[in-house]
Structure 1
Amino acid sequence: MSFLRAEWRKLIMINYEVNPSVLKPYLPLGTDLDFFEGNCYVSVVGFMFLNTRLLGVKVPFHVNFEEVNLRFYVKKEKEGEIKRGVVFIKEIVPKAAITFVANTIYNENYQTLEMKHLWNLKKNKMNITYKWKINNEWNSIEVEALNNLEKIEKKSEIEFIAEHYWGYSKNNNKTTEYEVKHPKWEFYPVINHKIDVNFLETYNKDFLFLRNQKPTSVFLLEGSEVSVENKVKF
């Protein structure tokens, strides 16, 4: 049985090119940084968890909620197989129980904060917003997009950002690995975006430079049902 099943919907992905040296202290043992056309990325990602089930059970008041995370991209090679995955710098949710389970079992770096979202869906366009409150200050990411789903092209930047199917995290002198299963996603063309994030307060001084850096790209993906499989350590 999968550890977690849910729908991940309306994923905003804001992507920045960064110097690899920024990420090396966060790199789990046994993994290497993954690059797209020679560039290293971090992404701020906001989305909704819907119909969440933990070990097949819907936990009351923990079924539908927001998440915003900061992540980067890695790969792990073993016996000729390359697994492409993500490492999370921080994951923000509004539910303390989710934070406890993820940090305890998967060695992630979750934080519980007040959050809210707005989906304004119209026939031709949509506005998607995710907000979180830290130190009495609201932060937000927002996109305006055409309400027209398109397929992801192979070997494109959006495929690189969206199509990572493994999660890795540091676990003392070991690494936690888990698989994330979902079909190939489709995206909505983004026509405008707004970023209002205190990177120092939300993350730490290592990522303060993102405050003055323009993103390389901004995507909005529809998402799908997903499953998070049980962890292994190495």
Structure 2
Amino acid sequence: MTNFLNAKWENLIMANYSIGPEILLPYLPKGTELDYHDGKTFVSLVGFLFRDTRIFGLPIPFLGTFEEINLRFYVTRKVGSEVRRGVVFVNETVPNRFVAWVANYLYKEHYVAVPTTHDWTVNENVKRVKYQWINDKEWKSIYAEAQAINKPLIVGSEEEFIFEHYYGYTRVDERTSEEYAVQHPRWNVNDVTSYQIDCNFETMYGKDFAFLNNVKPDSVFLAEGSTVSVKWKRNRFV
């Protein structure tokens, strides 16, 4: 199966909020179901770095490394006896208009392009990771400080639930959805010791998510990341 995209995803911050399933149902692609962990559904505010991005194996001059900030939630799809676990993006923010246009035009995704930046500080003891973006003419950010030593995911943990989804799902319209496969090794994680989130969820993601402005995340995770491939083939289903 041909890879559409190859890249490195590095230093992924995930701020995870439990959310009522009724809020997510209008965004649910046809043919998928909400994925639960310990009886809860979640959305995650995510910041990470795309590095050395290649499209069909070809590098993108000047545009191959960039930040992405997104809001996503978690779903499953049953295919015969197989249960596929995936994510749905409410919105994805990148700094380049061309990248956003390609994703929106070809794949019916929900990208916007605004200025972004990042700042990392790493020593033998501490890792500090920060992503920033412009929203409503102001710089917003997600920041995590963590132990520098990484460790494997624990089976059955909330961290494993958040990170171990290997499909993406897009709502094309009320009756049609698309599925694509994402491949990467199982990630190691760093224990987060402190964090700071400055995000206007209402202006970024709409009124349905405005309440997140006034609540703390249930958890904040930091993953080392790895090389990632996104398959070209998209399965459309109803």
**How many matched pairs?**
234
Deviations 1:168-187 (A, max 9, x none): 01112310110000000000
In 2, Cα distance between equivalents of 1:56 and 1:146: 34
Match of 1:155 in 2: 156
Q: Which runs of 4+ in 1 moved over 4 A?
A: none
| CA positional deviation for 1:214 | 1.1
Match of 2:26 in 1: 25
In 2, Cα distance between equivalents of 1:135 and 1:213: 21
| CA positional deviation for 1:80 | 0.9
Partner amino acid, structure 2, of 1:132: W
Any gaps of 5 or more consecutive residues in structure 2?
A: none
The TM-score, its normalising length taken from structure 1, stands at: 0.99
Deviations 1:35-74 (A, max 9, x none): 0011000000100000100111111121100000000000
Deviations 1:138-170 (A, max 9, x none): 110000111001110111100000000000011
Match of 1:116 in 2: 117
Q: RMSD between aligned alpha carbons?
A: 0.7
**Does the aligned pair in 2 maintain the 1:134–1:202 contact within 8 Å?**
yes
Match of 2:225 in 1: 223
For the pair 1:208 / 2:210, whether they are aligned, the reply is: yes
Match of 2:128 in 1: 127
In 2, Cα distance between equivalents of 1:91 and 1:192: 25
SS in 1 for 2:7: strand
The TM-score, its normalising length taken from structure 2, stands at: 0.97
Match of 2:105 in 1: 104
| CA positional deviation for 1:24 | 0.2
Partner amino acid, structure 2, of 1:78: V
| CA positional deviation for 1:123 | 1.6
Partner amino acid, structure 2, of 1:176: E
In 1, Cα distance between equivalents of 2:201 and 2:65: 26
Match of 1:233 in 2: 236
| CA positional deviation for 1:97 | 1.0
In 2, Cα distance between equivalents of 1:48 and 1:84: 23
In 2, Cα distance between equivalents of 1:104 and 1:177: 16
In 1, Cα distance between equivalents of 2:25 and 2:236: 20
Structure 1 residues 134-149: aligned runs within 5 Å: 134-149=135-150
Identity score, percent: 46
Partner amino acid, structure 1, of 2:88: V
Picking from 176, 186, 189, the partner of 2:188 is 186
